[in-house]
Chain A
Amino acid sequence: AQSVTQLDSQVPVFEEAPVELRCNYSSSVSVYLFWYVQYPNQGLQLLLKYLSGSTLVESINGFEAEFNKSQTSFHLRKPSVHISDTAEYFCAVSPGYSSASKIIFGSGTRLSIRP
């Protein structure tokens, strides 16, 4: 079975400051890893994912995450945040084969941006 731990329930940062949202996972098999974002009163949207290949993956709005197998981590980073990044961010994991259907989510990290 897989599990996900997001170590911070809330992360407040100032606008234009860097941010890191931490995610650790547990699994006895290879995994796919995801970050989803939820803006207020909306459903979740995929931000980025790691399936295989390069361990550094990027999103179109400046976020990046690095898969670290030895530390079983998939931390999300952005060098300079904007007010529009205010949202809740969820790390998720699934078994690492294409037919797998179970996606397990972490408890979420609420990112609040101060002007």
Chain B
Amino acid sequence: NAGVTQTPKFQVLKTGQSMTLQCAQDMNHNSMYWYRQDPGMGLRLIYYSASEGTTDKGEVPNGYNVSRLNKREFSLRLESAAPSQTSVYFCASSREGAATEAFFGQGTRLTVV
């Protein structure tokens, strides 16, 4: 029962480097999300994908891009990492939008130095 799988679990980047966070779900869910979690700020929505082939901006999309590669996979890309992007990133998926339960991955702890 894999659920939502994120890779990598940890990453250290230098300012200006790029990287892609990978997320895959095996529950046949339509909706997928990327959040960042910072102390005292809860989870903030970066981007979401209501269904395969669509993506929309969340609360804090600047500095990020996403790709809904297929129904299973939703990747998050940092083109030029900045120290302000140091955070824990969570991917989540749900069957049909917000009314159904969102399942979360274990998170990726990213440090930008």
B40 within 8 A of A: yes
The CA of A101 and the CA of B4, in the complex, are separated in Å by 17
Stretch of B12-20, B62-70, B79-87, B90-98 on the interface side: B90-98
Docked complex: B47-75 residues within 8 A CB-CB of A: 48, 50, 56, 58-59
B90→A101 contact, CB < 8 A: no
CA gap between A99 and B95 in the complex, in Å: 10
Number of A residues contacting the other chain (C-beta, 8 Å)?
28
Q: How far is the CB of B64 from chain A (nearest CB, A)?
A: 16
Q: What is the total of A-B residue contacts with beta carbons within 8 Å?
A: 72
B69 to chain A, nearest CB (A): 18
Q: CA of A95 to CA of B50 in the docked complex: distance in angstroms?
A: 14
**Interface on chain A toward B: helix, strand, loop, or mixed SS?**
loop
- A101/B104 in contact, CB under 8 A: no
Residues of B within 8 A of A (CB): 4, 31, 33, 35, 40-45, 48, 50, 56, 58-59, 90, 92, 94, 96-99, 101-102, 104-107
